[in-house]
């Protein structure tokens, strides 16, 4: 259990935790004395076949988990106390996901990254009331890849995901021929990264500080698959890590502790055209990346977060300091311990798949989305369209007014209407002081460019969430096919869950 006092002690520098009068709570507390724990591997759920459909029973429940040595944490989970099982889908399967809500409050489960009818999406309109079952049915049309599911309850996604309502989904392709590690939990490893803040009695603390409302909820303790200070014991030369940033707000810059090269092989929506050698990999909330790491027998190497130097200009005041400190810290995420003998499981493939690039010329419409953090120090509790005082009119970015094109999310307002079977370019700009990961429901898109420059190789594959940095202009291209319904909207939003819950979301219908 890490108290605030101990946190200060671990960091060694008391003054680091107070900046401009606000405690910087999101610095990760690392204690060399915390015992290491074997990385938990979420159980897999492959469903049961009946009449050509794979059925999955997902029971949303309250529970209790032991993260700290001597305190229990009340948590939420799916078929368990914290997080949920890894769902295994095959491409072209028909699935039926039966979500039974055993909580005392309404919830939803959203299938993040999937191309499906809006009524099956598990977004804010598919509420599952306590004691009821909601079933989502769809055909899995995705390529093989790493996806996830999580609560998308209106105004409550942040809180419910924080307490544990999230899990991984792996899509397989029956005919997959590429030689990648594929033994789950052995050389093909789910890595669900989250940061949490604990109270002294073991309970999660959620949104108890001013900066939680501005930069989103960050915690001082890193969990991987719900394990504190985790170690994974590797038995093979290559391991495939399926990285999922399931944090509420924190962006990670993954690296290996000795700065060795690794290879990114997949992005949000599936395989890249070939392994991309890298030494650091930035992953915002909801983004996924599969990486291959090569190990040597008997060694220990750590997956770490690498500090990023802030480019934010230095102004006096808490906001500037908050932004400057945001990701400026190194910390450990997962220890990889190689056994003294390693099985030669694969040879690094040269290429993986061929990706059809959506031609820019196919787009018939360009839509613009401006992401902004409304000015003013208001609490952001009121909602509704439009600018003006009601949505905050004071000075400085703060207080929880998060807008897209000047509007807050309203469930009864359709922001965009899109014609079925068209291709569109969405131009995303960000005039706020921090990066926002922009997510679009209803499938996968591609990046055209960032500030006019072609994306790096690891962003040339299918994506459903894209980082839009402060001052950046990012263009994405997407097809809207198969499903139309004027009544049922899909969402687009910032995936920092506290921003989403405070209005940085909009709705589109395909007609
Ligand atoms: Cu990961 Cu709108 O969701
Ligand atoms: Cu989604
Ligand atoms: Cu945001």
| Pairwise CA distance, residues 82 & 278, whole Å | 32
The whole-number average pLDDT for the span 288-299 is 98
Three-class secondary structure of residue 363 per DSSP:
strand
321-365 confidence digits (pLDDT tens): 889 889 999 999 999 999 999 999 999 999 999 999 999 999 999
CA of 25 relative to ligand 3 center, distance in Å? 18
CA nearest 109: which of 88, 96, 128? 128
Q: Is the CB of 286 under 6 A from ligand 1?
A: yes
Q: Is the CB of 125 under 6 A from ligand 1?
A: no
The 10 Å Cβ neighbour count of residue 208 is 10
CA of 497 relative to ligand 1 center, distance in Å? 9
Q: Is the CB of 493 under 6 A from ligand 1?
A: yes
| Pairwise CA distance, residues 332 & 300, whole Å | 13
Q: Whose alpha carbon is nearest atom 1 of ligand 1? A: 112
| Pairwise CA distance, residues 60 & 99, whole Å | 7
Atom index in ligand 1 nearest the CA of residue 492 equals: 2
What is the structure's pLDDT at 318?
80
The whole-number average pLDDT for the span 197-218 is 94
Q: Is the CB of 116 under 6 A from ligand 1?
A: no
| Pairwise CA distance, residues 391 & 376, whole Å | 8
Atom index in ligand 1 nearest the CA of residue 441 equals: 2
Whether 384 has a pLDDT exceeding 50, the answer reads: no
Q: Which ligand number lies closest to the CA of residue 284?
A: 3
CA of 414 relative to ligand 1 center, distance in Å? 17
Q: Is the CB of 288 under 6 A from ligand 1?
A: no
Higher pLDDT, 313 or 478: 478
DSSP 293-329: EE--TT-EEEEEEPP--------SSHHHHHHHHTT--
Whether 457 has a pLDDT exceeding 60, the answer reads: yes
CA of 443 relative to ligand 1 center, distance in Å? 11
Atom index in ligand 1 nearest the CA of residue 148 equals: 1
| Pairwise CA distance, residues 31 & 258, whole Å | 20
**What whole-number percentage of the chain has pLDDT above 70?**
88
| Pairwise CA distance, residues 373 & 375, whole Å | 6
Whether 18 has a pLDDT exceeding 50, the answer reads: no
What is the structure's pLDDT at 177?
67
Whether 379 has a pLDDT exceeding 80, the answer reads: no
Query: For residue 33, what pLDDT band results from cuts at 50, 70 and 90?
Result: low
Three-class secondary structure of residue 18 per DSSP:
strand
Q: Which ligand number lies closest to the CA of residue 496?
A: 3
CA of 122 relative to ligand 2 center, distance in Å? 9
Atom index in ligand 1 nearest the CA of residue 113 equals: 1
Question: CA geometry: angle at 112 spanning 425 and 465, to 5°?
Answer: 40
The whole-number average pLDDT for the span 101-117 is 98
The whole-number average pLDDT for the span 446-473 is 97
Q: Is the CB of 491 under 6 A from ligand 1?
A: yes
What is the structure's pLDDT at 378?
42
What is the structure's pLDDT at 127?
98
CA of 42 relative to ligand 1 center, distance in Å? 21
Q: Is the CB of 441 under 6 A from ligand 1?
A: yes
For residue 22, give every residue at least 6 positions away whose Cβ sits within 8 Å of its Cβ, in sequence order, or none: 209, 210, 211, 318, 321, 322
For residue 398, give every residue at least 6 positions away whose Cβ sits within 8 Å of its Cβ, in sequence order, or none: 213, 214, 319, 373, 375, 376, 377
Question: Alpha-carbon torsion 102, 107, 113, 117, what sign?
Answer: positive
Q: Which ligand number lies closest to the CA of residue 125?
A: 1
CA nearest 507: which of 366, 369, 364? 369
**What whole-number percentage of the chain has pLDDT above 90?**
82
Q: Whose alpha carbon is nearest atom 3 of ligand 1? A: 112
| Pairwise CA distance, residues 188 & 232, whole Å | 12
CA of 37 relative to ligand 2 center, distance in Å? 31
> Which residues crowd ion ligand 3, with CB under 5 Å?
436, 494, 496, 499
233-274 confidence digits (pLDDT tens): 999 999 999 999 999 999 999 999 999 999 999 999 999 999
CA nearest 279: which of 255, 314, 244? 255
DSSP 54-90: EEEEEEEEEEEEEEETTEEEEEEEESSSSB-PEEEEE
Cα–Cα separations (whole angstroms), residue 143 to 353, 356, 421, 433: 11, 12, 20, 35
| Pairwise CA distance, residues 123 & 417, whole Å | 18
66-94 confidence digits (pLDDT tens): 999 889 999 999 999 999 999 999 999 99
Query: For residue 315, what pLDDT band results from cuts at 50, 70 and 90?
Result: confident
Radius of gyration of the chain (CA): 22
Atom index in ligand 1 nearest the CA of residue 465 equals: 1
CA of 368 relative to ligand 2 center, distance in Å? 20
Task: Please say whether the beta carbons of 170 and 128 come within 8 A.
Answer: no
């Amino acid at each position: 259990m890490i108290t605030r006092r101990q946190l200060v002690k671990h960091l060694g520098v008391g003054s680091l935790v107070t900046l401009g009068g606000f405690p910087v709570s999101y610095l990760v507390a690392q204690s060399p004395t915390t015992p290491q724990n074997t990385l938990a591997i979420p159980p897999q759920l492959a469903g049961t076949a009946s009449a050509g459909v794979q059925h999955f029973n997902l029971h949303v429940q309250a529970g209790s988990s032991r993260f700290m040595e001597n305190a229990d944490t009340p948590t939420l989970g799916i078929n368990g106390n914290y997080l949920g099982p890894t769902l295994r889908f095959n491409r072209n399967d028909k699935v039926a996901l039966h979500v039974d809500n055993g909580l005392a409050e309404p919830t939803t489960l959203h299938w993040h990254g999937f191309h499906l009818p809006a009524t099956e999406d598990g977004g804010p309109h598919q509420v599952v009331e306590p004691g009821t079952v909601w079933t989502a049915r769809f055909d899995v049309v995705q390529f093989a890849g790493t996806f996830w599911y999580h609560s998308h309850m209106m105004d409550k996604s942040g809180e419910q995901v924080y307490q544990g309502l999230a899990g991984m989904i792996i899509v397989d392709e029956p005919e997959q021929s590429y030689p990648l590690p594929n033994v789950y939990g052995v050389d093909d490893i789910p890595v669900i990264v989250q940061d949490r803040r604990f109270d002294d009695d073991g309970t999660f603390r959620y949104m108890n500080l001013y900066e939680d409302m501005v930069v989103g909820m960050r915690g001082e303790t890193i969990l991987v698959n719900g394990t504190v200070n985790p170690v994974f014991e590797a038995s093979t030369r290559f391991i495939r890590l399926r990285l999922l940033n399931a944090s509420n707000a924190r962006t990670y810059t993954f690296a290996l502790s000795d700065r060795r090269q690794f290879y990114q092989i997949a992005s949000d929506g599936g395989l890249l055209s070939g392994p991309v050698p890298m030494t650091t990999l930035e992953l915002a909330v909801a983004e996924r990346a599969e990486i291959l790491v090569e190990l040597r027998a008997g060694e220990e190497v750590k997956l770490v977060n690498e500090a990023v130097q802030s480019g934010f200009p230095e102004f006096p005041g808490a906001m500037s300091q908050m932004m400057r400190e945001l990701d400026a810290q190194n910390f450990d995420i997962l220890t990889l311990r190689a056994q003294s003998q390693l099985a030669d499981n694969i040879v690094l493939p040269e290429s993986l798949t061929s990706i059809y690039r959506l031609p820019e010329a196919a787009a018939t419409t360009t839509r613009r989305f401006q992401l902004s953090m409304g000015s003013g120090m208001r609490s952001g509790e009121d909602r509704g369209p439009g600018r003006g005082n009601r949505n905050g009119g004071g000075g400085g970015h703060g207080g929880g007014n998060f807008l897209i094109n000047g509007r807050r999310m309203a469930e009864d307002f359709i922001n965009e209407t899109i014609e079925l079977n068209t291709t569109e370019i969405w131009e995303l700009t960000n005039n706020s002081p921090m990066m926002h990961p922009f997510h679009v429901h209803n499938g996968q898109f591609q990046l055209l460019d960032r500030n006019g420059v072609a994306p790096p190789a690891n962003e040339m594959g299918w994506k459903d969430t894209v980082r839009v940095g402060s001052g950046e202009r990012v263009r994405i291209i997407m097809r809207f096919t198969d499903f139309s319904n004027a009544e049922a909207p899909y969402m687009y939003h910032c995936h920092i869950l506290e921003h989403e819950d405070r209005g940085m979301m909009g709705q589109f219908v395909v007609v």
